[in-house]
């Protein structure tokens, strides 16, 4: 299994339940969902002409569409050679569930790494039972992909992006049709750092005893 790696870097997780945890981010190329507010639109297309050696990936100075095809074993070697010390690995994108992620778990978990996937819930989740699955459901996006009921049931955490009341209504409709599994953590995340979106998220979290996710990394101006 070869994974199209757009970025590999160490930082602090800025979203969801694991906010504040040192983490290695493995960003994969490719996503057809088409969220209008996406802040990683450079990961959407996977064109053969953008495949490069990993040396060009690690020396990037800004976001672009280049990626490097790496096996799970090669990804581990890069993590070790770069001297990363975090044990929490966030697999994101793009849409990471376009790919079978079980080979990554087979290589990384025996060495003490905890895997977390951040997915839109629009593709089947092929991951180990120990992988922490964060589903950020994307409803009625331009790509036309529906959120899968199986993804909602597999989610350990559901992190829903909002900006207006209509987004809360859409989330309620989704939960009614495709409920979260019992015990799943539910987070609301403002789509932007605008006060209106944040105030709405705080209000609803207080009313429903949900968690707030504020994209801490953007406030800290880190990756």
On whether 11 is known to bind a ligand per the annotation, the reply is: no
What residues contact residue 144 under an 8 Å CB cut-off, 6+ apart?
none
Kindly give the pairing relationship between strand 211-212 and strand 185-190: parallel
On whether 31 is known to bind a ligand per the annotation, the reply is: yes
Dist CA 78 CA 59 (whole Å): 13
On whether 27 is known to bind a ligand per the annotation, the reply is: yes
On whether 37 is known to bind a ligand per the annotation, the reply is: yes
What residues contact residue 208 under an 8 Å CB cut-off, 6+ apart?
186
Dist CA 80 CA 140 (whole Å): 40
On whether 39 is known to bind a ligand per the annotation, the reply is: yes
> Concatenated DSSP letters for 189-203?
EESSS-HHHHHHHHH
On whether 136 is known to bind a ligand per the annotation, the reply is: yes
What residues contact residue 49 under an 8 Å CB cut-off, 6+ apart?
none
Residues 141, 157 contacting (CB under 8 angstroms): no
On whether 121 is known to bind a ligand per the annotation, the reply is: no
Residues 153, 13 contacting (CB under 8 angstroms): no
On whether 14 is known to bind a ligand per the annotation, the reply is: yes
On whether 208 is known to bind a ligand per the annotation, the reply is: no
What residues contact residue 193 under an 8 Å CB cut-off, 6+ apart?
214, 215, 218, 219
On whether 205 is known to bind a ligand per the annotation, the reply is: no
On whether 35 is known to bind a ligand per the annotation, the reply is: yes
Residues annotated as binding site for S-adenosyl-L-methionine?
A: 37-39, 94, 136-138
Question: Residue positions in the annotated binding site for substrate?
Answer: 12-14, 27, 92
Annotated binding site for [4Fe-4S] cluster: 31, 35, 38
Instruction: Return binding residues.
Output: 12-14, 27, 31, 35, 37-40, 92, 94, 136-138
Annotated binding residues for Mg(2+): 40
């Amino acid at each position: 299994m070869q994974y199209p790696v757009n970025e590999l870097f160490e930082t602090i997780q800025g979203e969801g339940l694991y906010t504040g945890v040192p983490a290695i981010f493995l960003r994969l190329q490719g996503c057809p969902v088409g969220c209008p507010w996406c802040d990683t639109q450079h990961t959407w297309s996977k064109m053969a002409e953008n495949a490069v050696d990993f040396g060009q990936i690690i020396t990037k100075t800004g976001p672009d569409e280049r990626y490097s095809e790496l096996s799970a074993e090669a990804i581990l070697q890069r993590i070790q050679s770069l001297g990363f010390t975090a044990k929490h690995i966030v697999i994101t994108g793009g849409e990471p569930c376009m790919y079978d992620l079980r080979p990554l778990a087979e290589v990384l978990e025996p060495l003490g790494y905890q895997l977390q996937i951040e997915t839109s819930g629009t593709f089947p989740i092929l991951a180990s039972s120990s992988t922490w699955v964060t589903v950020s459901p994307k409803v009625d996006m331009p790509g036309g992909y529906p959120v899968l009921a199986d993804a909602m049931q597999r989610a350990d955490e559901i992190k829903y992006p909002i900006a207006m009341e209509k987004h809360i209504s859409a989330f309620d409709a989704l939960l009614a049709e495709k409920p979260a599994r019992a015990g799943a953590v539910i987070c609301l995340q403002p789509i932007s750092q605008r006060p209106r979106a944040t105030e709405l998220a705080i209000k609803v979290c207080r009313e429903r005893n949900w968690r707030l996710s504020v994209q801490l990394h953007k406030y800290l101006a880190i990756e």
